[in-house]
A and B are shown apart, each in its own frame.
Chain A
Amino acid sequence: MSKSRTPSITPWLFLAPFLVTFAVFTIYPLSQSFVLSFQQTFGPRSTVPVGFENFRYLFTDPLFWIALKNTTLFTLGSLCVQLPLSLGLALLLNRPELKGRSLFRLIFFAPSLVGLVFVGMIFSLIFEKRTGLLNVVIHSIIPQFPLEFPWLQNYVMLALIIAALWLYVGFNMIYFLAALQNVPGELVESAGIDGAGPWDRFVHVTLPHIMPVAGFVVLLSILGSFQLFELPFVLLGGSGPENRGLTLVMYLYNTGFVTGDLGYASAIGWVLALILASVTIVQRRISRKGEE
């Protein structure tokens, strides 16, 4: 690239909107978040320094552990159900001879446009006892299945995983589909000529090619799942019976904006950030090893 002869102030002027808003609305609150996590607050104004008390309390706080357990369960549950199904749909669609391919893609993708709040609204009615669509349909197929099945009372995690499945399956599918289109077709064909069955061809030819994207989708899903908030918040109107739907971000929200302790909320935020950072580092390590 040739050296630009313009005064070196020009690029900084183009970056000015970012620099100003980033400093005010990200860097400053980020540093405040650190300060706050060593304070107890009553609303935004009155603060009391408490040292490490927030973090010490966090480790004995039963609600924090419930939230962490729920969030982890949801993350693992959705990973195990969502991703194989997303990949499966992508494999089904990845055939040039398939008619109506773009229509199917459109249909599967459509739910990911719906905001979590609105998904929560729709599914809060779908999961209703007796009148809810899900119970009525399952009951009509399997008469032993009770119409009163308490999705939103006793099977909260399962309900959340199902709603998230509907929402995200098509979104992840788009990534897999893009990755599959980069798998050289000749390679798959020549493996077939060499006598490899469909399963062998998938494991030895297709899978290694889509691994980088798969790793990225896994990371994106974990990071997203760990920040789950709106879906249970709207679906259950809060944390649900016995806090069965309490997630980390919901606990942060309740602490900061219902109880009014922005300090303890910030401490929860830092623990969440630490978890997300560790997940990212582990994923990077694994994917780098895979490339070698």
Chain B
Amino acid sequence: MKLEINNAVCGYGSKKVIEDISFDVKSGEILCLLGPNGVGKTTLFKTILGFLKLQSGEILIEGDNVKNWSRNRLAKAIGYVPQAHTPPFPFNVLDVVIMGRTAHIGPFSSPSKKDVLIAEEALETLNISFLKDRIYTEISGGERQMVLIARALTQQPDILVMDEPTANLDFGNQIKVLEQINRLSKNGLAVFMTTHFPNQAYLCSTKVIILQKNNEFKMGQVEEVITEETLKATYGIDVRITSVKNQNGDKISACIPLLN
């Protein structure tokens, strides 16, 4: 499965936020989107999800232009993991996860036994089956984020689009979520996620796009893109990039900001 963005122009109404961007993400890859606030990360992924109209260019899934796809068809291909927020009603966690089946269920039907099983499987995959009968509004932010990932998995998509999946999570939960994302991608999902932390890109992404002001962007392999110079140019701060070895002896890079 391959998601391809060709010469995309994205924006709201007549305002263009991103011009002429092209990239692709294939199954097994994790593409991290970095960039300062207000540069158009959200605009770009909302366009990919079809919330905003693509102003020009094309979005292809498996070579097929999604322009005339129904919401339903798109939902079967792309799962969306939003930032965890609190819905107005105290839904059961399992009920929330089952909602991921919407695209697979007829408009007048309710979820079948099979749908419930798929939802339970998704909870199992993420090791959060213990949350099943809890109330979604009463669990922690980290747990809620995991539940939303489970909901997207229940959708059985080929591509996951995640909006800052580690936002508002404590340090441990951030890493747990990243571990799950890595696992999912190894199992064949294509992942496209936004993040504010270059280190997260080092930890799990295979490709990176950095959006900069004035409509410039850099993309490529993590090591090529996330450099001291690029981060300085993007965020206006000084950083040093260093590396350590992990338990398998592989090199892990990390960037450390320098305070003035």
Q: Do A and B come together as binding partners? A: no
- Residues in A lying within 8 Å of B, measured CB to CB: none
